[in-house]
């Protein structure tokens, strides 16, 4: 089935993919836009994973001050080249990220950054609450894991749902940006200030 340029353009607009990648994805799924977008996302995760070991020695420290002037964020986002660090898509991503941090107030960047004593205390609180509810001992561990994952989703930036699209996490948003921009990127650190 021949794929017209208008459909390719629509898919590119939806996904940020290159023209040839968009056309190939549409051909693979018989012209279905949704399936082609899903196919590109799957391939994008693979492409992003291949880039993950490339050095990120450039980047940007981005500042965001909320309209009220009472909340501000600094976020350091790394990339491979200074060319990308000045790219308007990269800057827009940094701004979205800083705005998200201002709104969601994460405490840590990744799960690994959460101190073990805080994790242990939270697990203890969850387990004791489940025991008080009368949950069977055999189920407490499984339920606890689900509650801990939810807790991580609240306090860890990379696992929080993105404020502009709650269907994806910050990690998924970062992966999309790596695919769209074509370079490895990393969120190194952030600081949120509030009065």
Residue 119 shares a structural domain with residue 34: no
Comparing 14-28, 52-66, 151-165, which segment has the lowest mean pLDDT? 14-28
Which CA distances in Å does 76 have to 1, 58, 102, 114? 46, 10, 14, 19
Q: Check whether 115 has a pLDDT greater than 80.
A: yes
Same-domain status, 93 and 183: yes
In angstroms, rounded to a whole number, what is the distance separating the alpha carbons of residues 90 and 86? 7
pLDDT (average), residues 1-10: 77
Domain CATH number, residue 169: 3.30.479.20
Range of 151's domain? 115-155
CATH code assigned at 23:
1.10.8.10
Residues 64 and 142 in one domain: no
How many structural domains compose the chain?
Answer: 3
| 26 shares a domain with 40 | yes
Same domain for 46 and 63?
Answer: no
Same domain, 95 and 179: yes
Model's pTM, two decimal places?
0.71
HEC string of 66-86 equals CCCCCEEEEEEEEECCHHHHC
Reported confidence tier of residue 107, pLDDT bands at 50, 70, 90: very high
């Amino acid at each position: 089935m021949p794929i017209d340029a208008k459909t390719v353009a629509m898919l590119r607009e939806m996904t940020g993919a290159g023209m040839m990648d968009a056309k190939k994805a549409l051909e693979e799924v018989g012209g279905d836009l949704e399936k082609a977008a899903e196919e590109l996302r799957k391939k994008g995760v693979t492409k992003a994973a291949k880039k993950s070991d490339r050095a990120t020695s450039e980047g940007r420290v981005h500042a965001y001050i909320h309209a009220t002037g009472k909340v501000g964020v600094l976020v350091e986002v790394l990339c491979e080249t200074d060319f990308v660090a000045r790219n308007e898509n990269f800057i827009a991503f940094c701004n979205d990220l800083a705005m998200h941090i201002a709104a969601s107030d994460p405490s840590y960047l990744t799960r690994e950054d959460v101190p073990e004593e805080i994790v242990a205390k939270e697990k203890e609180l969850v387990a004791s609450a489940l025991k008080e509810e009368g949950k069977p001992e055999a189920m407490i561990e499984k339920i606890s894991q689900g509650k801990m994952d939810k807790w991580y989703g609240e306090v860890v930036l990379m696992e929080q749902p993105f404020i502009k699209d709650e269907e994806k996490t910050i990690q998924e948003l970062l992966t999309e940006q790596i695919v769209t921009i074509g370079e490895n990127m990393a969120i190194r650190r952030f600081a949120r200030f509030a009065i």
